[in-house]
Chains A and B, each alone.
Chain A
Amino acid sequence: MRGLWKLAGVALALALASSGASAQEKIIAVTAERFKFTPAVIELKLGVPVVLELSSLDRRHGFQVPDLAVDETVEPGKVTRVRFVPRKAGTFDFHCHVFCGSGHEEMAGQIVVTP
């Protein structure tokens, strides 16, 4: 299952690499801190390219969206950019997958893709 996600992720990345940064990309800043993401709900439009700019306000966190093959670590003092094009509508859970303390299990959110 993880392999399929990786393949899907590679396909997305290749598709986006060929297009490069685009003025049509929607840029959304997402901050991570113990034990929450802001925003916790990320609203996207189907087919509209997006760049999530991930940053941490305290320590190392993770940002994993299993259904979208997104799997990143988020380091303090550094912006991690995740580019993709939402190809299916729906709600996709994301969570911190780098254990960060009591409350880690609640550090989660959702990406909502609407037509």
Chain B
Amino acid sequence: MNERTGRRELIKLLGFGGVVFASGLAGACTGPSRKPGGAEDDFFFVQLSDTHWGFKGPPNPEAANTLRQAVAAVNALSRQPDFVVFTGDLTHTTDDDAERRRRMREFKAIVGGLRTPVRRYMPGEHDASLDAGKAFQEEFGPTHYSFDHKRIHFAVLDNVSDPQAAIGDAQLDWLLADLKPLPAEAPIVVFTHRPLFDLAPQWDWATRDGKKAIDLLQHWRNVTVFYGHIHQEHHFRTGAIAHHAAQSLIFPLPPPLSQPKRAPVPWDPAHPRRGLGFREISVDESRLVLTLREDSLEGTGAQAAAAGSF
């Protein structure tokens, strides 16, 4: 298969297989706002999560290819995102500090193949919990920060450098100071790795002091949180705040508390990339409606990778 064929099939997948979820920051949305050609004021970004570079094991025997397949799939989008955000667990954990850094550098080299030059990173516990984020900071920069893009304020929260999954009062103080100048109706997007709410504490799917962050964020009316960690799409609301978890790019996990153990969903050779994918987030001109499109790697990723189109 050549690159053109791979892209055509990807477009078909997006057209018929994509799940569209309208996330109302305020107001309703009936479909994807990413227009062919794109309106000047519209934009979209892509969320990739839990790539776990360096993982080896039965839940994904193709782990050495999956990240490259994701890069190829994003590059094959008909329009490129303004930026790509990685919501943690870029690498799979290791006790060996040199190996951790090697995995981070390999990860960087692979995602360096993205056509989108702007990439935002944050750690997951696999990247940062064993060394309090030291290697991550050296390779990628700060673990929490904020930035503005086209009239939206983005805040990145670190709830993993503390191995007990706490944000910590110092970072919460920083968040408050960062958001304080913004009016109550300002559109705010928060990126983090773990859920800020108690999704399933029995499975460690929570943030120890996440409630403090949520209480703080409630002072703004248009807040959306994107996170990873749970290796599946999930949508939840705490008050006015919408929380959206993304699929992983290594192996899916079962729905929260749906079985006794949070073991990975067994790999299915007939559908080797089922449950793996990424998310496109389109932002409309008002900046108050986000449209989420969940893209699957199933079917297209391996073909694109096989064609060497990345």
**Do A and B interact?**
yes
Q: Name A residues whose Cβ lies closer than 8 Å to a Cβ of B.
A: 1-3, 60, 62, 64, 66-67, 73, 93, 95, 97-102, 104-106, 108
Given contacts A2-B198, A2-B211, A105-B262, contact A97 B93 (CB under 8 A): no
Contact B261 A97 (CB under 8 A): no
Contact B198 A95 (CB under 8 A): no
Partner of A99, one of B94, B125, B206, B262: B125
Given contacts A1-B198, A99-B129, A99-B130, contact A105 B204 (CB under 8 A): yes
The yes or no answer to B286 lying at the interface (CB within 8 A) is no
Given contacts A95-B203, A95-B204, contact A101 B130 (CB under 8 A): yes
- Taking the nearest CB of chain A, how far is it from the CB of B130, in angstroms? 6
Given contacts A2-B211, A102-B92, contact A97 B165 (CB under 8 A): yes
Q: How far is the CA of A99 from the CA of B93 in the complex (A)?
A: 10
Interface residues of B in 252-285 (CB under 8 A from A): 260-263
Q: How far is the CA of A64 from the CA of B103 in the complex (A)?
A: 31
Q: How far is the CA of A64 from the CA of B126 in the complex (A)?
A: 20
The yes or no answer to B78 lying at the interface (CB within 8 A) is no
Interface residues of B in 152-200 (CB under 8 A from A): 160, 163-165, 198
- Taking the nearest CB of chain A, how far is it from the CB of B261, in angstroms? 7
The yes or no answer to B201 lying at the interface (CB within 8 A) is yes
The yes or no answer to B95 lying at the interface (CB within 8 A) is yes
Q: Name B residues whose Cβ lies closer than 8 Å to a Cβ of A.
A: 92-95, 125-126, 129-130, 160, 163-165, 198, 201-204, 206, 211, 260-263
- Taking the nearest CB of chain A, how far is it from the CB of B150, in angstroms? 35
- Taking the nearest CB of chain B, how far is it from the CB of A60, in angstroms? 8
Interfacial chain B residues near A97, Cβ < 8 Å: 164-165, 204
Query: Count the A-B residue pairs with Cβ separation under 8 angstroms: how many?
Result: 48
Contact B201 A73 (CB under 8 A): no
Interfacial chain B residues near A100, Cβ < 8 Å: 163
- Taking the nearest CB of chain B, how far is it from the CB of A9, in angstroms? 13
Q: How far is the CA of A104 from the CA of B262 in the complex (A)?
A: 11
Interfacial chain A residues near B263, Cβ < 8 Å: 106
Partner of A102, one of B93, B198, B203, B211: B93
**What 15 new A-B contacts, CB under 8 Å, besides A1-B198, A101-B93, A101-B95?**
A1-B201, A2-B206, A2-B211, A60-B163, A64-B201, A64-B204, A66-B201, A67-B202, A93-B202, A95-B203, A97-B204, A99-B125, A99-B163, A99-B165, A101-B130
Interfacial chain B residues near A2, Cβ < 8 Å: 198, 201, 206, 211
- Taking the nearest CB of chain B, how far is it from the CB of A63, in angstroms? 12
Q: How far is the CA of A25 from the CA of B260 in the complex (A)?
A: 29
Q: How far is the CA of A2 from the CA of B126 in the complex (A)?
A: 24
Interfacial chain A residues near B92, Cβ < 8 Å: 102
